[in-house]
Amino acid sequence: MRFATTIGAGAAGASVIAAGIIFGQLIKHSSELDPISIGGAFELVDHEGRTVTDKTFLGRPSVIFFGYTSCPDICPTALMDLSNWLKALGSSADKLNILFISIDPQRDTPAQLREFLSSFDPHIHGLTGTNEQIAAVATEFRVYYKRVDERDGSYTMDHTGAIYLMDKTGHFVAPLSFQTEDSVAIERLRSLATS
């Protein structure tokens, strides 16, 4: 798992710094008594085309990752890590909401999300929306993302790659980083599932 995805030429330094600063803030505030405000109200569409809101997922802890289906390496790697961790959890994985929120709504339709996620653990649910809806949820979770245009007319997306752990009331608990070892990540997810 990495905390900054594909970095376009020329934007690499700024993107890594921005993502690193945000992740550093998550780490710092997750251990303070007065935690940083992360998470909030949102309305999106899931990979089955159903409208969902933040309230849809209350009652169970959530594990949330922001990414995009055209990501060449980091997002698939993060989702494979999550899939392996969920497999290790066994039935405890059923107690968690696992959400992959696209930061590329232009390409990530519900159908595209459904096809992409079919390669990963079935607990992982894809969410997308309009540009405005994605911007709003990214703001709520303090997620950095930016479109990077390539010379051939295509584009990639730079973005924060932390995995957000949220309790069953929708409050931020802690992040998982790309540096988290499998055994530690599994234990944190198991603890979250039983909280």
Asked whether the whole model's pTM tops 0.75, one would answer yes
| CA–CA separation, 157 and 174 (whole Å) | 24
Q: pLDDT at residue 178 above 90?
A: no
In 3D space, the residue among 191, 178, 47 whose CA is nearest the CA of residue 124 turns out to be: 47
Instruction: Give the pLDDT confidence of 88-144 residue by residue, as tens digits.
Output: 999 999 999 999 999 999 999 999 999 999 999 999 999 999 999 999 999 999 999
Instruction: Give the pLDDT confidence of 27-85 residue by residue, as tens digits.
Output: 444 444 455 689 999 999 999 999 999 999 999 999 999 999 999 888 999 999 999 99
Question: CATH topology for 12-193?
Answer: Glutaredoxin (3.40.30)
3-state secondary structure of 173: strand
| CA–CA separation, 65 and 130 (whole Å) | 18
3-state secondary structure of 20: helix
Q: How many helices (H) and strands (E) does the chain have?
A: 5, 9
- Residue 51 · residue 88 · CB < 8 Å: no
